[in-house]
Amino acid sequence: MTTTIEVYDTTLRDGTHGENVSLSVADKLKITRLLDDLGVAYIEGGWPGSNPKDAAYFERVRGLDLKHAKITAFGMTCRVGSAPDDDDNIRALIDAQTPVVTVVGKTSLLHVRDVIRATPEENLRLIRESLAYLKAQGREVIYDAEHFFDGYKLDAAYTLQTLQAALDGGAEMLVLCDTNGGSLPWEIESVVATVRDAFPGARLGIHTHNDSELAVANTLAAVRQGAVQVQGTINGYGERCGNANLCSIVPDLELKMGYQCLPEGSLASLTHVAHTVSEIANMTPNTQAAYVGKSAFAHKGGMHAAAVRRNVDSYQHIDPALVGNKMRILVSDLSGRGNILSKTEEYGLDLSTEAARDVVSQIKELENQGFVFEGAEASVAMLMRRHQPDYRPPFELIDFMVVVERRAGRGLFAEATVKVRVEQQDLHTVAEGNGPVDALDKALRKALVPVYPQLQDFHLIDYKVRILDGQNGTGATTRVLIDTQNGHKRWSTVGASPNIIEASWRALADSVEYGLTVASEAAPAANR
């Protein structure tokens, strides 16, 4: 029978300790729904005694109809010299009205003596009595043994005494914490095995931090020695270098180690959850994140692209669909014919072998001039489309001119003149803008909208400029990336030239041509 590992998510508490991570109450409720839909066992909502926001969350979360997760409130043992029934933090845990409480206690003598300034005996009392009091209130009690592995190295016997105190107080789970993130996997394995043997029948969990880039490995090591609960955060958010990343741990456990962590089929939504949490937290997704990153199954080298065309397993450790991700073939100066043929299939095009070779040669030459196509797949689509014998562009540029002026009473403004050929007719338009690219865009639209009214739905949403080879000063090559959206699709195009206006025009023209010829069709790779 497959062993079940409980997933305990602390994104809403420990994750918010990460630099630049901040969540409103509404944000935390959205993430709660996502995590519950994913199927995690526990969601740690926050520390109700620490701030009004967390208190408000616990009040509002009671209104959610959750299918899988138990909401957990987090807090510390009672204060030195006090009793649990006279402690504000303990009272806040009870007032949160969660079915589960997680209590953190000191296990390292360093923290007992130097941080909370208690005797070893007093600390044991705090653990035992705090947990017993909460247990008597009808709560499921999880004990987080803070700094356990560091404390074990300092005084192993005392750390085991703290765990016994927690069990005496009614703890239903002993979570061993690598709080400073400095332990190594073999140290974790050895210590967890010792705890397992010392407390037969006790349920063990693991909580690690990533300060040594080992949080995931340390978590897996603990599971190998009997841990049945893994704690972590979505995308590894957390203080300093972050917490253990559940987006890596869960697929590692399910796909590599044969454990059951989520309900059947839920793993396929992992990428969606990871990206949505990033959006809610206003954090840029890590494109190279294992399993869920945009680049996790991206193949750039020509040899790799050719190999996966023959057998997708040749350069992939899993089927990306298992975690809700997808394989991507990148196009660059490292590309071979296989990259292009894969892209033509993706776009539903039919290129001959000779045409594919021509596209590869053109891409290599353009990248030598400063173009980069990895982030501009709409430009790649147009290169391939133009190599089809029956392709007819929706417009042709005859010439353009851009003037930037400063006039008294008006300040700076730009004026663009564009002459294009559409259906054998030459159209000559002029438009003003707040800058040269804006003026070009407006002039081109002015010419094309009467023929292609769908252009009114195209919106330039991002414009990036990078100067290449800065040693050449004003003679350096300029690369321009443009992102465009038409409501439901978004695509990126690139242009490069020693002249920033020409670079902008090439990216802009590609964007409009793509939108008119491809964006209305199924082109998932260009829709980021």
Q: What is the mean pLDDT of residues 473-499?
A: 79
How far apart (Å, rounded) are the C-alpha atoms in residues 195 and 172?
15
Q: How confident is the model at residue 528 (pLDDT cuts 50, 70, 90)?
A: very low
Q: Are 70 and 37 in contact (CB under 8 A)?
A: no
Are the C-beta atoms of residues 446 and 437 closer than 8 Å to each other?
no
Alpha helix segments (H runs only) across 295-352: 302-310, 337-346
Q: Which residues, 6 or more positions from 342, have their beta carbon under 8 angstroms from its beta carbon?
A: 305, 308, 309, 329
What would the pLDDT profile of 115-171 be if each residue is shown by its tens digit? 999 999 999 999 999 999 999 999 999 999 999 999 999 999 999 999 999 999 999
In order of 85, 124, 155, 176, 201, the CA distances from 120 in angstroms are 21, 6, 11, 19, 26
DSSP lists the bridge partners of residue 145 as: 105, 176
Distance between CA atoms of residues 366 and 360, nearest Å: 10
Q: Is the pLDDT of residue 56 over 50?
A: yes
11/233 Cα distance (integer angstroms): 4
CATH fold of the domain at 6-263? TIM Barrel (3.20.20)
- 458 has a pLDDT exceeding 80: yes
pLDDT digits (tens, 9 = 90+) for 464-474: 887 776 454 44
Domain boundaries, the chain: 6-263, 298-386, 396-517
Q: Which two tokens stand for residue 87?
A: 């402690």
Enter the tokens of residue 458: 């195209």
Which pLDDT value is given to residue 344?
62
Domain 396-517 in this protein, CATH class: alpha beta
As to burial, measured by CB atoms within 10 angstroms (0-12 exposed, 13-18 middle, 19+ buried), residue 190 is middle
**Average pLDDT score over the chain:** 87
- C-alpha–C-alpha distance, residues 425 and 421, integer Å: 5
Beta bridge partners of 468: 477
Residue 14 phi/psi, 5-degree rounding, is -65, -35
pLDDT by residue (tens digit) across 353-411?
A: 777 777 777 777 777 766 766 667 787 777 778 777 778 888 888 988 888 887 777 67
pLDDT digits (tens, 9 = 90+) for 252-297: 999 999 999 999 999 999 999 999 999 899 888 898 999 999 888 8
Q: Smallest Cα–Cα separation from 234: which of 285, 304, 166?
A: 285
Q: Strand ranges (DSSP E) for 29-149?
A: 42-46, 70-76, 100-106, 140-146
- 323-356 pLDDT, tens per residue? 998 877 655 545 555 566 666 666 666 766 777 7
Could you tell me which residues are beta bridge partners of residue 471? none
Q: DSSP secondary structure string, 468-512?
A: E-GGGGGGSEEEEEEEEE-SS-EEEEEEEESSHHHHHHHHHHHHH
Q: What is the pLDDT of residue 525?
A: 39
Structure-block tokens of residue 330: 């990148």
Q: What is the pLDDT of residues 423-438, one digit of tens each?
A: 889 989 999 888 888 8
Sign of CA dihedral 365, 368, 374, 377: negative
Asked whether the beta carbons of 271 and 291 are under 8 A apart, the reply is: yes
User: Is the whole-model pTM more than 0.75?
Assistant: no
